[in-house]
């Protein structure tokens, strides 16, 4: 695989997410990339180029941030770096299988999609997940109680929705940390 391409994708997302903070920024995409690399290390039959690029670009057309159609940003980056045809379609397909709301209950149909979806979900739980939840809540004027509710509506469900064995392992300790955190939160608030 071409390292230059991965570095170019990192620079591209740094630029693209400039000015965003909290949940969806370049740092999130870099963590998802890191998680995806960890998981991919345990999956021998995956296309690592597709995994890496889909992980880095998975939020490049997030509808909460960008008003693009048909993965315009991701496709623009890929095509301008000579990634076209079948590889481009496989990357876009993996990206489109990541969204939680769009894919509730549906598994991605490729191993690359499964890995990137797991990698994104891992970043929503554990210590990072807690930090992102309150950052997002603050941005949207939510009370702490409302953010705590988000753990029960979504975050505590994610451990059992992981596709790959490696992600299940990684999710276990992150999940346990959130459970401990909530215990402490309710002990302190007396709720
Ligand atoms: Ni994401």
The rounded Å distance from CA 119 to ligand 1 centre is 9
| Cβ–Cβ < 8 Å for 158, 104 | no
Domain ranges of the chain: 3-189
User: Higher confidence at residue 33 or residue 23?
Assistant: 33
pLDDT score for 30:
97
pLDDT score for 44:
87
Letter string b/e over residues 83-117, b meaning 16 or more CB atoms within 10 A of that residue's CB: beeeebebbbbbbbbbeeeeeeeeebebbbbbbbb
Query: 137 falls in which pLDDT band (50, 70, 90)?
Result: very high
Phi then psi dihedrals of residue 19, to 5 deg? 90, -10
How far is residue 139's CA from residue 135's CA, in Å, rounded to a whole number?
Answer: 6
How far is residue 11's CA from residue 77's CA, in Å, rounded to a whole number?
Answer: 11
For residue range 76-124, list pLDDT tens digits in order: 999 999 999 999 999 999 999 886 556 666 789 999 999 999 999 999 9
Average pLDDT, the chain: 93
The rounded Å distance from CA 5 to ligand 1 centre is 20
The rounded Å distance from CA 183 to ligand 1 centre is 27
The rounded Å distance from CA 152 to ligand 1 centre is 19
Two structure tokens written together for 182: 């909530």
Q: How crowded is residue 167: how many other Cβ atoms within 10 Å of its Cβ? A: 26
The rounded Å distance from CA 56 to ligand 1 centre is 9
User: What average pLDDT does range 49-77 have in this prediction?
Assistant: 95
The rounded Å distance from CA 145 to ligand 1 centre is 23
Q: Residue 63 pLDDT > 90, yes or no?
A: no
Instruction: Give residues whose Cβ lies within 5 Å of ion ligand 1.
Output: 59, 120
Q: What share of the chain is helix, strand, coil (3-state, %, to 5)?
A: 65, 0, 35
The rounded Å distance from CA 154 to ligand 1 centre is 14
Two structure tokens written together for 188: 């302190």
Q: Which CATH class is domain 3-189?
A: mainly alpha
């Amino acid at each position: 695989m071409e390292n230059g391409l991965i570095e170019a994708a990192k620079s591209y997302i740094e630029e693209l997410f400039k000015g965003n903070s909290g949940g969806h920024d370049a740092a999130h995409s870099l963590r998802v990339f890191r998680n995806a690399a960890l998981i991919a290390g345990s999956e021998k039959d995956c296309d690592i180029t597709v995994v890496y690029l889909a992980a880095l670009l998975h939020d490049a057309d997030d509808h909460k941030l960008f008003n693009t159609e048909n993965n315009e940003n991701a496709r623009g980056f890929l095509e301008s770096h000579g990634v076209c045809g079948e590889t481009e379609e496989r990357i876009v397909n993996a990206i489109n299988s990541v969204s939680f709301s769009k894919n509730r209950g549906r598994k991605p149909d490729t191993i690359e999609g499964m890995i990137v979806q797991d990698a994104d979900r891992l970043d929503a739980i554990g210590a990072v997940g807690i930090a992102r939840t309150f950052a997002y809540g603050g941005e949207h004027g939510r009370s702490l109680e409302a953010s705590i509710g988000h753990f029960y509506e979504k975050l505590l469900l994610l451990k059992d929705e992981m596709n790959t064995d490696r992600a299940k392992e990684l999710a276990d300790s992150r999940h346990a940390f959130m459970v401990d955190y909530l215990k402490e939160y309710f002990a302190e608030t007396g709720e």
